[in-house]
Chain A
């Protein structure tokens, strides 16, 4: 069983955004967005960064349904709604809802859609948001469905890259750590497809980039190189250094984890010869993959990156509700 990743882009080309219109403009996967959609969202995010407090959601009620807890993502979305002047209902944990009493997702969504103009949902089951978007009378924003999609994270990554590099085209992006299970690196790879990137994949054998994503790169003429060693040579050619968490539970062999856990840690000294425009990104929370001595380096960008999530999410919310920014 593997993920097949080609279809989405091709379907997208054929449909030209039809999915968005059909599904009440829901956002389930980053591949629901065309290149034009992405560029206009980045522009809207930029506007929100200039002034995040706008009354664009006045009179609207937004439901945040977190069937699986994720404080970070929920706070970011709820701040976005609050700064847009909307009101929030919802829950942060499925134990407090009727789904713990056996109510179907279908019934919960139908019930909530009576009250809210938009549903932002996170669910541990894969495909939950796609399913909800098929019958919900109000738009759905996917705030993560299991190991599958988390499109607002990808939008904030794109915005962070765009903001720090001044462009998205022709960049060298080095991804480090868990490239096998990390959905953020997979979604970012897919979204960068429009912008002629070059990738370096740095990982141990057990966590290397899955074949289907390399096949995707091959098919679309995207240049990539794979490395076991996290070396300064690789760092020095990089524009964006995307670090990810190497989690113990991903390893079948604990000895292997002990062996590699420190091999993919970024230390400040490793950035000495790096390009002036290099920025270090990380989806957070970090454990030990970035030493604390990197935090004071102006090239460390992970905390600002998290803040960009607010602007990216404000842009996404307005887009699915058909609200013009500016």
Chain B
């Protein structure tokens, strides 16, 4: 078996499903939370602190038999905009793509304003992405803006 094959096997081969690669290692578990992987019944392989040519140490998540909706995958862009998504069917990569922030984010981010209605009613939050490059969101309700470093995930 050659070297490349061995490395791939280290994180288990996938017959069908989704691979999320090039996750900055410190953000791996945030991405795991974001996709609600804890609640899945499918088999999931999580690689942590793997060597990466691009970014030093990386994380990887392989989820068997799950093909996420694009909107769900795009949530990842909120914390890790440079991840790579591979869709696997019958051991082959049939689709490769990146993630990008949607214009609107529902139910995922908590408003940092304690006087916001969303923190006081049983309701979904709604943020407008007002700057995709620097990741600035604005609460649809209280109209406060929040920058990348202050985003609180639900």
Would you call B130 and A127 a contact (CB within 8 A)?
A: no
Would you call A146 and B115 a contact (CB within 8 A)?
A: yes
Would you call B117 and A1 a contact (CB within 8 A)?
A: no
Give the contacting residue for A1; candidates B118, B130, B145; CB below 8 A. B145
With A126-B141, A127-B142 known as contacts, the answer to whether A4 contacts B115 (CB < 8 A) is no
Query: Which residues, 97 to 154 on B, are CB-close (under 8 Å) to A?
Result: 112-113, 115-118, 120-123, 128, 130, 136, 138-146, 150
Q: A106 vs B138: C-alpha distance in the bound complex, in angstroms? A: 22
List A contacts of B144 (CB < 8 A).
1-4, 126
Would you call A126 and B116 a contact (CB within 8 A)?
A: yes
Would you call B113 and A126 a contact (CB within 8 A)?
A: yes
Give the shortest distance, in Å, between A179 (CB) and chain B (any CB): 18
Give the shortest distance, in Å, between B26 (CB) and chain A (any CB): 24
Would you call B123 and A106 a contact (CB within 8 A)?
A: yes
Q: A46 vs B86: C-alpha distance in the bound complex, in angstroms? A: 64
Give the shortest distance, in Å, between A142 (CB) and chain B (any CB): 12
Give the shortest distance, in Å, between B54 (CB) and chain A (any CB): 33
Would you call A105 and B143 a contact (CB within 8 A)?
A: no
In the complex, besides A1-B146, A126-B143, A212-B145, 6 extra interface pairs with C-beta distance below 8 angstroms are A2-B144, A4-B138, A4-B144, A7-B138, A125-B115, A149-B143
Give the shortest distance, in Å, between A112 (CB) and chain B (any CB): 16
Q: A215 vs B55: C-alpha distance in the bound complex, in angstroms? A: 36
Contact-size category for A:
20 to 34
The residue on A at minimum CB distance from B128 is A7
Q: When A and B form their complex, which 5 residue pairs have the shortest distance between CB atoms, in order from nearest?
A: A127-B141, A4-B145, A126-B142, A127-B117, A127-B142
The residue on B at minimum CB distance from A5 is B143
List B contacts of A130 (CB < 8 A).
117, 140-141
Query: Which residues, 42 to 56 on B, are CB-close (under 8 Å) to A?
Result: none
Q: A126 vs B140: C-alpha distance in the bound complex, in angstroms? A: 10
Would you call A131 and B117 a contact (CB within 8 A)?
A: yes
Give the contacting residue for B117; candidates A7, A126, A147; CB below 8 A. A126
Would you call B138 and A105 a contact (CB within 8 A)?
A: no
Query: Which residues, 114 to 152 on A, are CB-close (under 8 Å) to B?
Result: 123-128, 130-131, 145-149
Check: A6 CB closer than 8 A to any chain B CB.
yes
